[in-house]
Structure 1
Amino acid sequence: MSRFADQTVLVTGGSGGQGASHVRALHAEGANVVIGGIDADRGAGLAAELGHRALSVRLDVTREESWAAAVAETEEAFGALTILVNNAGVQNPPAVIESTDLATWARILDVNLTGTFLGIRAAAPALRRAGGGTIVNIGSTTGLGGTALYAPYVAGKWAVRGLTRTAALELGRDNIRVNAIHPGVVATPFITEPAAGSDAPIADFYSPEPFAVPRLGQPADITALLLFLTSPDAAFITGTEYVIDGGLLLGPALKNGSPS
């Protein structure tokens, strides 16, 4: 299939677990892909693996000038930017609010919230130049409820929801759609390996046993939804939030299935 022929997508955090999944799938369906991230070597490796129609750019999502350079490189290489996936994110080491230092708070919000804000701001003019496009912000189910020990991360993801809706209202008349995806617990290094400054991965705090679908999510699960939201099939969808969590937020499932 080539649903994304003649489309150019910039994915932040594009060489990580979920990001690389998104990049590979979009490329397979015909898109030009731009892999944005701090780790230029890892991004370059993925671009080399994909070959034609793939570009790696160094992108620090917290810096305006880095965003400007990434958008300029994208347009220089492929002529237009039509899709932005704000996927980059970092996690705080688990700590109660009283033990969370201000530097940690500021760093998490800087990447997860300000980075998304700067991405929308930098991409909007390019999307207008292209005649329209779409932005997808990757949030989290933590943005729909409280999660002990992760206050900075939770606060940032809650704020991304309001940012998504506001951007959808502001950009809709420019033929730019803006939506959010809120993954649950997904089996990537982000979840299965300890965050910086922590001894335990997030996965240690969760068991999928109570979920309606009793397993951790896989990057491909999130990618499938992303492909829909960025495709022409979703042309009438904007300002929405999609939860994909295997039923995590529904509450505990029946332990042994349906009663007889």
Structure 2
Amino acid sequence: MTGATSYSHDFEGKTVLVTGGAQGIGRGIALAFVRCGASVALADLQANVARDWLALECARDEPEGPTYRVYEVDLARREEAVDLIGRVEADFGRLDVLVHNAAYFPLTPFDAITPAILERTLAVNLCAPFWLTQAATPAFVRQGGGRVLVTSSVTGPRVAYPGLAHYAASKAGVNGFIRAAALELAPLGVTVNGVEPGMIRTPAMENLGDAALCGHIARAVPLGRLGEPRDIAGAMLYLASEHAAYVTGQTIVVDGGATLPEASAAFA
């Protein structure tokens, strides 16, 4: 595949559900699993966008390759999250990996955060992994185990950013969820882990400013660039693979070294 990222993990025969996969990090994660042979279920409010690129990529890479389905779901609604898991298991016959990547984070000054903004942020970012994992656990148990992966963030657990207090609070909660759920689900053979992205080059970055600001941010990263969705996808593939069978309750920071304590002094 010319210009495509190559991955060495093998997910042949596995079914992977990725939420928030229409664009950005979610698209990168879903595409990585497709290229590793997985059958991919992709859930997003922008189902048509997801369906278009996924059909194109699957046809381009492997005309006879993995199967996929796209589901239009609002993960702020518990009933839709629970129903999604049932639909995926019914359509594919199994569920091996759940990746909750969907997120809601409108850039909003602290004093302008409304109940509606806060409630939707918490519903999509923090409540949805609870409902999805609860619903998926019986499916995992039926086949002897499974993987839950969540896209967290360095914003909240490690750093703060103006206009994202609601988002930071939700992601700090996500890290707590990862640790507690990992502890309770370990006896069932289910691991729970996450990835904390730093500044990743996605359409959502447009919310943070113009090209000049993005350039300034990149220069402050020790590795000298913004991250790409494939950087997050690589960490997700590892956590979903057999190489991480003994890893649970952890998050991997993928930020080019930006949150290292020394970074602000050395690369400002």
Same fold (TM over 0.5): yes
1:61 touches 1:116 (CA, 8 Å); kept in 2? no
**Shift of residue 223, structure 1, vs aligned partner:** 0.7
Aligned partner of 1:234 among 241, 244, 252: 244
Structure 1 residue 221 and structure 2 residue 228: aligned?
A: no
**Shift of residue 45, structure 1, vs aligned partner:** 1.5
- Structure 2 residues not aligned, in runs of 5+: 1-7, 60-65
% identical equivalent positions = 34
Over 3 Å counting, the alpha-carbon distance change for 1:9 and 1:125 in structure 2 is same
Range that drifts further, 180-189 or 106-115? 106-115
Structure 1 residue 27 and structure 2 residue 37: aligned?
A: no
Partner of 1:3: 10
Structure 1 residue 149 and structure 2 residue 159: aligned?
A: no
Over 3 Å counting, the alpha-carbon distance change for 1:63 and 1:101 in structure 2 is closer
Residue 133 of structure 1 aligns to which amino acid in structure 2? Answer: G
SS of alignment partner, residue 142 of structure 1? coil
Provide runs of 4+ in structure 1 moved above 3 Å.
Answer: 200-206, 253-256
Equivalences for residues 4-153 of structure 1 within 5 A: 4-49=11-56, 50=58, 52-95=66-109, 97-143=110-156, 144-153=158-167
For the residues of structure 2 that align with 1:231 and 1:67, how far apart are their CA atoms? 24
For the residues of structure 2 that align with 1:71 and 1:240, how far apart are their CA atoms? 24
For the residues of structure 1 that align with 2:160 and 2:172, how far apart are their CA atoms? 10
Over 3 Å counting, the alpha-carbon distance change for 1:255 and 1:174 in structure 2 is closer
For the residues of structure 1 that align with 2:32 and 2:38, how far apart are their CA atoms? 9
- With normalisation by structure 2, the TM-score equals 0.87
Q: Deviations over 1:127-156 (max 9, x none)?
A: 112221101110000022332321000000
2:76 touches 2:120 (CA, 8 Å); kept in 1? no
2:46 touches 2:72 (CA, 8 Å); kept in 1? yes
For the residues of structure 1 that align with 2:9 and 2:227, how far apart are their CA atoms? 26
Residue 37 of structure 1 aligns to which amino acid in structure 2? Answer: D
**Shift of residue 46, structure 1, vs aligned partner:** 3.2
- Structure 1 residues not aligned, in runs of 5+: none
SS of alignment partner, residue 34 of structure 1? strand
For the residues of structure 1 that align with 2:153 and 2:132, how far apart are their CA atoms? 18
**What RMSD, in angstroms, separates the aligned Cα atoms of the two structures?**
2.1
- With normalisation by structure 1, the TM-score equals 0.89
Over 3 Å counting, the alpha-carbon distance change for 1:220 and 1:16 in structure 2 is same
For the residues of structure 1 that align with 2:173 and 2:184, how far apart are their CA atoms? 17
